[in-house]
Amino acid sequence: MNILIMGAPGSGKGTMSARIVQKFNLTHISTGDIFRSEIKNETELGKTAKSYIEKGLLVPDSVTNPMVVSFLEKNNIENGYLLDGYPRTLAQAEVYGELIKNSSLEIDLVINLDVNYEIIKERITGRWMSPEGKIYHVKYNPPKVEGICDVSGSQLFQRKDDTLESVVVRLEEYDNNTKPVLEFYAKQGKLVNIDGERSMDEVFADIEKLLEKK
């Protein structure tokens, strides 16, 4: 089973992805996570990506597409994948469509988490992360001890692009570039919209039902 998870920044893609890959044993591919790892390792790709990400802008397709191709080449995907945060421009969707055409990587389903922008702003500005990628929220999913990851004991931090100023730019990028991608998959009959404004458990229960039917 190969799935895309889409939705505006902060709609809950990363949170749901963690639960989906665990339950359905899929390979999680998050372009945002790959970029953050490249930035942490101070690679050339990371340096380029950083200059866009910190402003809330999308990284150019000329950087993002080859990075995804390279990930797929290096990782043997045996039991399907969950792609999170890609494609998010029409050009990316077209390039990816060509790449996976008639292969075992063809997309079965596109899940879109629908959340209004006022909720998004509260979710993003209240998000805290562990260095290992576990996602918390001060109100909706707080750690047991403030500022410390329940699992690893590491110090939590806020992403540099999680400021209100950056969120406004990210939502503009989403409106201008990513919404047309939803239309692209709707036309292929692959898109399913999920109300992402409910609790994490309720959203995941809907996703589970959907995937169990596949």
Q: What burial class does residue 96 get, using C-beta atoms within 10 Å of its C-beta: 0-12 exposed, 13-18 middle, 19+ buried?
A: buried
Q: Which long-range contacts (CB under 8 A, 24 or more apart) does 153-158 make?
A: 154/130, 155/131, 156/128, 156/129, 156/130, 157/128, 157/129, 157/131, 158/127, 158/128, 158/129
Are 149 and 134 spatial neighbours (Cβ–Cβ below 8 Å)? yes
CB of 203 to ligand AP5, least distance (A): 5
Q: Would residue 13 show up in a list of annotated catalytic residues for this protein? A: yes
In 3D space, the residue among 1, 32, 26 whose CA is nearest the CA of residue 14 turns out to be: 32
Residue 190: CB minimum distance to ligand AP5, A: 18
Active site residue 198: no
CB of 22 to ligand AP5, least distance (A): 14
- Using the minimum distance from each CB to ligand AP5, give the nearer residue, 111 or 211: 111
What is d(CA 82, CA 8) in angstroms, rounded to the nearest whole number?
A: 17
Catalytic residue among 50, 123, 134, 170: 170
Query: Of 64 and 130, which has the nearer Cβ to ligand AP5?
Result: 64
Residues 109/210, Cβ–Cβ less than 8 Å: yes
The answer for residues whose C-beta is within 8 angstroms of residue 132's C-beta and 6 or more apart is 149, 151, 152, 154
Catalytic residue among 159, 179, 190, 198: 159
Residue nearest to ligand AP5 (CB): 32
Q: Which is nearer to ligand AP5, 178 or 211 (CB)?
A: 178
Catalytic site residue from 13, 36, 123, 134:
13
Per DSSP, the three-state class of 157 is strand
Among residues 76 and 199, whose Cβ is nearest to ligand AP5? 199
Known catalytic residue at 19: no
Cβ distance to ligand AP5 smaller for residue 78 or 164: 164
**What is the smallest separation between the CB atom of 3 and ligand AP5, expressed in angstroms?**
15
Query: Choosing from 36, 50, 123, 127, which is the catalytic residue?
Result: 127
Q: Which residues bind ligand AP5 (CB under 6 A)?
A: 7, 9-15, 31-32, 35, 52-53, 56-59, 64, 85-86, 88, 92, 123-124, 126-127, 135-137, 140-141, 161, 170, 199-200, 203
Nearest to 194 by CA among 117, 82, 112: 112
Could you list the active site residues? 13, 88, 127, 159, 170
